[in-house]
Structure 1
Amino acid sequence: MTRWLPFPLLTATLLAVWLILNESVSPGAVILGGVLSIAAVRMLMPLEPPEGRFRRPLAALMLTLVVLGDIVRSNNAVARIILRPGTRNRTSGFVRIPLDLRAPYGLAALACIITATPGTIWVEYDSAGNTVLLHILDLVDERVWIETIKERYEQRLIEVFE
């Protein structure tokens, strides 16, 4: 049996975005936004999003704080690399990191975390070997990066999503 409104939170979010973009809460805007939101969510249903569970909100909050701190720290490090003339001889490179995380939403969150942190870019995910390839702006030691990703992010994401 298919529910009439399969993702009510997504529908409400789309409606809220519609109303914000239109800068109006008139009855016409609400009705049109509601119809479009419901239609958009129903059109997404054939994609069959993977089942996911969000567990341990406290762990998610701690992960958020860690990520925000790392983003600030990384911004400072990248700014120093760019602005100081003596630090231009840094070596950038690629690191392949083996993952234990398999939850699709956890992998998506990890991709967002890594890409949002200045100096790192998620390049490739190998689903067969469950590894991720990262480009690092200032690569000194590959082992440090592997441990950092696994301990700071992956373990917390496993707590939240698996």
Structure 2
Amino acid sequence: MRRRLLPRPLLSLSVFVVWALITNAASLALLALGALLALVIPRLTAPFWPQPPRLVRPLAALRFLAVFAFDIVTANWRVARQVVGPLHRLSPAFVEVPLELRDPFVATLLASVVSLTPGTVAIDVDRRDWILLVHALDAPDPRALIDEIKERYEQPLREIFAC
């Protein structure tokens, strides 16, 4: 019964909180409308959500989040120095990262992680050949970038979701 009413509880909570924040909900009517949207939107969008894999190693997920947060901070610093410095020193490149994982949800999560790390943007996840196309602001050694993505992000995600 709870699953039918709230197919995605975190999404419902997020919709409600965002609604309350953007409307500055000071009235009961606005809060009721937010609650209604929080119930309806996840049910209407349920067919579009893939079933995410089960989180198998939660401690590994926490370790991964710490590494990811550290990488975001250090990459911000590195990109800021590169952009302010001489642009002719940059070596932008498109890099194809062959993936070992075969789960579409985890591949999309990996692409999101790569895109959220400053200096890199995931362009495409080829699910036929399982290749992640990445654009890097500065990749003088594309092989090193591939190894870094596989070691720091793909391998931990495979461990976290056992895929």
> TM-score if structure 1 supplies the norm length?
0.86
- For 1:56 and 1:76, the matched residues in 2 are separated by 31
Does residue 58 (structure 1) correspond to residue 59 (structure 2)? The answer is: yes
* Residues 44-76 of structure 1, C-alpha deviations (whole Å, 9 max, x = no match): 123252242223222111111111222222222
Distance of 2:82 and 2:13 partners within structure 1: 44
| Map of 1:28 onto structure 2 | 29
Q: CA RMSD, aligned part only?
A: 2.1
Matching residue of 1:79: 80
- List runs of 5+ in structure 1 lacking aligned partners: none
CA contact (8 A) 2:111 2:125 kept: no
Residue 140 of structure 2: aligned partner:
140
Count of residue pairs the alignment pairs up: 161
Contact 1:81 1:88 in 2 (8 A): no
1: CA distance, partners of 2:77 / 2:121: 17
Matched, 1:113 2:113: yes
**How far is 1:132 from its partner?**
0.7
Relative to structure 2, which stretch is displaced further, 123-132 or 42-51? 42-51
Taking a change above 3 Å as real, the CA distance of residues 47 and 137 of structure 1, as seen in their structure-2 partners, is: closer
Give 1:66's aligned amino acid. V
User: What is the TM-score with the length of structure 2 in the denominator?
Assistant: 0.86
Percent identity over paired residues: 39
CA distance in 1 between partners of 2:49 and 2:25 (Å):
33
Give, as a single letter, the amino acid of the residue that structure 2 aligns with 1:31: A
Match of 2:152 in 1: 152
Q: State how far apart, in whole Å, the 2-side matches of 1:74 and 1:12 are.
A: 31
Deviation at 1:10, TM superposition (A): 1.9
Question: SS where residue 3 of structure 1 aligns?
Answer: helix
Compute the displacement of 1:18 (Å).
1.4
Q: Structure 1 segments of 4 or more deviating over 4 A?
A: none
Gaps of 5+ in 2: none
